[in-house]
Structure 1
Amino acid sequence: MVKAIKFESKHPFWGQRTATLDWCEENYLVNEYIAEFINTTTNLTFFCLCFFGIYTTVKYGLEKRFILAYAGILLVGIGSWCFHMTLLYQFQLLDELPMIYGTCILMHNIFETGPKRKYGLYLPLALITYAISITIMYLYVVIPIFHQITYAMLVTVLNFRSYYIVDKLPKDSQLRTSMQSLLFKSWTIFGLGFLAWNFDNIACDYLRSARQKVGRPTSYLLEFHGWWHIFTAIGTHYWIVFNQYVRLILLGEANNWDIKWTIGFIPYVARSLENNVKVNRKKIK
């Protein structure tokens, strides 16, 4: 067991906390330059998965809309890293507001899935208006629950739309089964993250006591807000892959593509080799 060392926090490296939130992880416990070490470094999951998603999207010639989707989620990871590292209000905004912006990008992608634009400019304008409105209101209504509710509303609509699309696929088809499985895995992983986030809030006193008893590095496993970051990043990646393949199904291109896996549990969309499909270097428009 490694004895925990508490760095002097009377004069923290980034100054006194100005954020409206301070999570269960003890501040400046591991490193004098990082306020919440585990909550900060677990954002590496976002970085790795987003760069991997951008890489596979470019490599296999998938649509640029998915590069934008991964970039939006990457911005969330960057903001979260800065927020937990400093506990400063401006970086709290850089964490929370991109959650709205990134989800708006995902909303656009799941509503515009057909070969022709269904909603024209109305959908992007509505999403941009929503994002700007929430930004302005949150600057005046400095209450975290306001952000959480507005984010939850987007996620709820996103998931209902996702299920609606899967439900419209031919029944008893392999494609429908595969999409259901991938979507439910995304929901399950994201749900585990949500439970971890709540448990970290509700049982903070118990968790801090337990971490002191077990000592480092085992105590790192009891940093449940860090697990929220990990599960959220993985669940969101699953959802973007789901969105990529659903789009290919609705474009009539599914036979030329497969969902493949790396390191056993990270999915990605790649061109099919089973039917000796020739690689079409022309990207899907």
Structure 2
Amino acid sequence: MAETMSSFWGPVTSTKECCEENYIHSSYIAELYNTISNIPTIILALIGLINALRQRFEKRFSVLHLSNMTLAIGSMLYHATLQRVQQQGDETPMVWEVLLYMYILYSPDWHYPSTMPIFLFLYGAGFAIAHSVFHFGVGFKVHYIVLCLLCTPRMYKYYIHTQDVLAKRLAKLFLATLMLGSLFGFCDRVLCNEILGWPVNPQGHALWHVFMGFNSYFANTFLMFCRAQQREWSPKVVYLMGVLPYVKIEKPKSQ
């Protein structure tokens, strides 16, 4: 795609995979819509973080919300610059975040509590080093999908063992936003030549960012509910201003 104005960041060195044309609106932001579409993720993660801290959830959930924010910021830097270093700063935290989800999902029933975080930490560090050296392309995507699939059985188990209707709705919203976001992202990549001929570019990859921001929030909130049930904290799903769901708990006085 031809650049319409000079680039503040220099020539594009990352792998171009999105259908938004470069430097249309500013010489400082390569892909404007793909950059600003990460803002909802940051806001939702901040709301989740405040709730986790205010109600004193386990630290793993604060780290999870912070990882969502970090991932969104990395994505903003990547789409703003389209540089190889920033692309890896976007992709590597994606893997780290899935490893954190794996820990939250599987650790309650793990017989050797100290081994899982050590293994996941070493795995994440090893991947970061390997990715910086070998610059995985398709291999990164396959690896990321496999890690996500490893989380699926446990997520389904949590769903079928949850009786609360509003909590189940969170899981359904998680699935719906995942499917919608994937559909827009897929069309943006596969149908790019046709889309560029349309009067208006729907910015499918930007919509992917927005839907995945909500997807992460719904996933985190559902997992917070399930963990609170395990800890017998009497969780219930309530709505912020009648719109955004979050988990409210009542810890026993002994805790």
TM (norm. structure 2) is 0.91
1:275 corresponding residue in structure 2: none
- 1:134: how far off? 2.1
Which stretches in structure 1 are left out of the alignment for 5+ residues? 1-5, 273-278
1:182 corresponding residue in structure 2: 170
1:3 corresponding residue in structure 2: none
The 1-side partners of 2:138 and 2:63 are apart by 27
Which secondary structure state, in structure 1, belongs to the residue aligned with residue 196 of structure 2?
helix
Q: Structure 1 236/281 Cα, relative in aligned 2: closer, same or farther at 3 Å?
A: farther
Q: Structure 1 15/48 Cα, relative in aligned 2: closer, same or farther at 3 Å?
A: same
2:42 corresponding residue in structure 1: 47
> 1:124-273 counterparts in 2 under 5 A?
124-169=117-162, 174-175=163-164, 177-210=165-198, 213-214=199-200, 219=201, 222-254=202-234, 257-262=235-240, 264-271=242-249
**Residue from 95, 110, 125 that aligns with 2:90:** 95
Which stretches in structure 2 are left out of the alignment for 5+ residues? none
Which secondary structure state, in structure 1, belongs to the residue aligned with residue 108 of structure 2?
coil
Q: Structure 1 143/65 Cα, relative in aligned 2: closer, same or farther at 3 Å?
A: closer
- 1:154: how far off? 1.6
Q: Partner amino acid for 1:188?
A: A
- Which one has the largest radius of gyration? 1
Deviations 1:130-185 (A, max 9, x none): 2123223323332321111111112111121111233345xxxx42x443332122
Deviations 1:194-220 (A, max 9, x none): 11111100011121111xx24xxxx4x
The sequence identity of aligned pairs, in percent, is 25
Report the aligned-residue RMSD.
2.1
- 1:104: how far off? 1.1
Deviations 1:5-53 (A, max 9, x none): x7423xx111001112342100011222100000000010111011111
Note if contact 1:7-1:31 (Cα within 8 Å) is conserved in structure 2: no
Q: Partner amino acid for 2:88?
A: L
Deviations 1:241-278 (A, max 9, x none): 00000011112222xx3211235542211246xxxxxx
The 1-side partners of 2:87 and 2:66 are apart by 19
Q: Which runs of 4+ in 1 moved over 4 A?
A: 279-282
The 2-side partners of 1:25 and 1:245 are apart by 38
Note if contact 1:13-1:32 (Cα within 8 Å) is conserved in structure 2: yes
1:276 corresponding residue in structure 2: none
Note if contact 1:37-1:85 (Cα within 8 Å) is conserved in structure 2: yes
Note if contact 2:88-2:131 (Cα within 8 Å) is conserved in structure 1: no
The 2-side partners of 1:179 and 1:157 are apart by 22
TM (norm. structure 1) is 0.82
